[in-house]
């Protein structure tokens, strides 16, 4: 089978400089959803017809298995398909998809392909709508056979009453396309070459025209403006939430969780309201995520608890951790088992050993921290000299007093203690107390100034 995705349209009603098919739904371009559904059918060739947005569309969607056909001018859906003609394998059928109908499911497409069985036939995915306004109507003869598709703008009052509409998705016999597409005329209300006119040509040629009904209305809904985009985003998210619930995840509110990527989970996971998951996230058994957390490309070990307002990106968290509220983990943060990370602690590209704690207000960057280390409030690794980044090493059982600056590269030995306020510029030996601090003095003869 050939699959052609029509994605050349501008999307005027988006009022945006971004081409319509690149607008994100669940964090991925609209057309990317369609490409992913198409791939599930393992087509021989997968072609995207592009035009508006040109190179931007190509580079955003680029993949080894995609072929590209440029439609320089948008003269209609029939003209769009004609641009892909030289790339089609003639012996296979051609399935046409729309780049702006993102939630189409492979299962519905499989049913459509079954309906159009054989190389000769043509099959249209249709849907019955209470309000068919704007769509092409499926016109049937008295025997109930499909006669043609008439576009809304060309339809008679009677035809406008038809509720069975064209979703735009159809399977076509490729061998006939050359002749049929060349025969299309644009003498219609929109002055366009309509792909839908192929249906009448197939009927004329005595070929069977089949239909298959879309399983669910939202699967075939298109995006023409940001209202429709938002509605489909909600539908997509609701589908994700329902799937999570049915797989055993407890959601405080299925309407208030967004998954923009994949979320893998163990048993007895709980997710509070307002959380956003991006990229690939994995939550182990019994993990609890508090309200309003953003987790991107994160793996969290079993039993860890994340309190409200945490922001984790590119981090690995061991089992039994206690994190947040207001913790920030940046790429390369790797936390061992039972680590505690508290409010306003930022960790970047650092490993933290088992049972170590940084409970308040700290910056840890480019550090290797051992087990059972205690990092006091206000501790900062000074990892950057303005040109290069340097490493801080803190060995097992060290105790770092509050408000300490560790000027990297520097090492704190096993079991060492740093006094509060220390600015550490040389290595601190194991087991000893190291402190750098101006001597404290008290002046008993000092008098407070008085108001004149």
- By CB under 6 A, the residues from 98 to 117 that bind ligand UD1 are 98-100
**What residues are annotated to the active site?**
360
Residues 6+ apart with CB under 8 A from 204: none
Kindly tell me which residue out of 136, 301, 318, 365 binds ligand UD1, with binding defined by CB under 6 A. Answer: 136
Residue 364's binding partner among ligand UD1, Mg ion, none (Cβ under 5 to 8 angstroms by kind) is none
Residues 6+ apart with CB under 8 A from 75: 186, 192, 193
Binding segment toward ligand UD1, per CB under 6 A, in 68-76, 240-248, 370-378, 444-452:
68-76
For residues 222 and 319, which CB has a smaller minimum distance to Mg ion in the complex? 222
Residue 49's binding partner among ligand UD1, Mg ion, none (Cβ under 5 to 8 angstroms by kind) is ligand UD1
Q: Site for Mg ion (CB under 5 A): how many residues?
A: 1
Q: What DSSP string runs through 97-139?
A: EETT-TT--HHHHHHHHHHT-SSS-EEEEEEE-SS-TTSPEEE
Peptide bond into 57 cis (omega under 30): no
CB of 7 to Mg ion, least distance (A): 12
312 binds ligand UD1 (CB under 6 A): no
Kindly tell me which residue out of 194, 218, 236, 277 binds ligand UD1, with binding defined by CB under 6 A. Answer: 194
The helix/strand/coil state of 185 is: coil
Tokens for 91, please give them: 């012996």
Closest to 51 (Cα-Cα) out of 85, 86, 8: 8
Kindly tell me which residue out of 18, 45, 74, 154 binds ligand UD1, with binding defined by CB under 6 A. Answer: 74
Burial class (CB within 10 angstroms; exposed 0-12, middle 13-18, buried 19+) of 144? exposed
CB of 293 to ligand UD1, least distance (A): 36
At which residue do the structure tokens 């709508």 appear?
129
For residues 196 and 383, which CB has a smaller minimum distance to Mg ion in the complex? 196
Binding segment toward ligand UD1, per CB under 6 A, in 120-128, 171-179, 192-200, 280-288:
192-200
211 binds ligand UD1 (CB under 6 A): no
For residues 190 and 262, which CB has a smaller minimum distance to ligand UD1 in the complex? 190
What is the distance between the alpha carbons of residues 391 and 3, in angstroms, rounded to a whole number?
Answer: 52
At which residue do the structure tokens 């995840």 appear?
249
For residues 222 and 365, which CB has a smaller minimum distance to Mg ion in the complex? 222
80 binds ligand UD1 (CB under 6 A): yes
Alpha-carbon distances of 381 from 5, 129, 325, rounded to whole Å: 52, 62, 21
Per-residue mark of binding to Mg ion, 184-223 (x: CB under 5 A): --------------------------------------x-
Closest to 199 (Cα-Cα) out of 109, 125, 89, 133: 125
For residue 205, the tally of other CB atoms under 10 A from its CB is 13
333 binds ligand UD1 (CB under 6 A): no
Q: Where do contacts with Mg ion occur on this chain (CB under 5 A)?
A: 222
Q: Where do contacts with ligand UD1 occur on this chain (CB under 6 A)?
A: 6-9, 49, 71, 74-77, 79-80, 98-100, 135-136, 149, 151, 165-168, 194-196, 222
């Amino acid at each position: 089978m050939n699959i052609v995705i029509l994605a050349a349209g501008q999307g005027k009603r988006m009022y945006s400089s971004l081409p319509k098919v690149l607008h994100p739904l669940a964090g991925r371009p609209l057309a990317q959803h369609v490409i992913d559904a198409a791939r599930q059918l393992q087509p021989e060739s997968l072609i995207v017809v592009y035009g508006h947005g040109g190179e931007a569309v190509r580079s955003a969607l680029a993949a080894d298995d995609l072929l590209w056909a440029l439609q320089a001018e948008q003269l209609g859906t029939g003209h769009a398909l004609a641009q892909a003609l030289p790339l089609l394998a003639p012996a296979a059928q051609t399935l046409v998809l729309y780049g702006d109908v993102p939630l189409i499911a492979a299962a519905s497409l499989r049913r459509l392909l079954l309906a159009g069985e054989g190389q000769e036939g043509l099959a249209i995915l249709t849907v019955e709508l209470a309000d068919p306004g704007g769509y092409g109507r499926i016109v049937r003869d008295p025997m109930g056979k499909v006669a043609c598709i008439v576009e809304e703008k060309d339809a008679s009052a009677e035809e406008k009453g038809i509720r069975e509409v064209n979703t735009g998705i159809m399977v076509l016999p490729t061998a006939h396309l050359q002749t049929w597409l060349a025969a299309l005329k644009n003498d219609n209300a929109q002055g366009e070459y309509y792909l839908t006119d192929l249906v009448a040509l197939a009927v004329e040629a005595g070929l069977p025209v089949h239909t298959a009904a879309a399983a669910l209305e939202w699967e075939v809904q298109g995006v023409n403006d940001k209202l429709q985009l938002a509605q489909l985003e909600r539908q997509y998210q609701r589908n994700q939430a329902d799937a999570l619930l049915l797989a055993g995840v407890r959601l405080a509110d299925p309407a208030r969780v967004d998954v923009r990527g994949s979320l893998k989970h163990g048993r007895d996971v709980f997710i509070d309201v307002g959380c956003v998951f991006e990229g690939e996230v994995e939550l182990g058994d019994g993990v609890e995520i508090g309200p309003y957390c953003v987790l991107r490309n994160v793996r969290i070990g079993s039993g860890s608890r994340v309190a409200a307002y945490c922001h984790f990106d590119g981090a690995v968290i061991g089992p039994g951790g206690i994190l947040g509220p207001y913790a920030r983990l940046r790429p390369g943060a790797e936390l061992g088992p039972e680590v505690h990370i508290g409010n306003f602690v930022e960790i970047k590209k650092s490993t933290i050993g088992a049972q170590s704690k940084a409970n308040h207000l700290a910056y840890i960057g480019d550090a290797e921290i051992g087990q059972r280390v205690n990092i006091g409030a206000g501790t900062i690794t000074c990892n950057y000299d303005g040109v290069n980044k340097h490493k801080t090493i803190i060995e097992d059982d060290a105790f770092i007093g509050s408000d300490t600056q560790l000027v990297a590269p520097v090492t704190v030995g096993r079991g060492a203690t740093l006094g509060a306020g220390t600015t550490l510029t040389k290595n601190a030996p194991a087991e000893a107390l190291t402190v750098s601090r101006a001597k404290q003095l008290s002046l008993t003869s000092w008098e407070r100034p008085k108001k004149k």
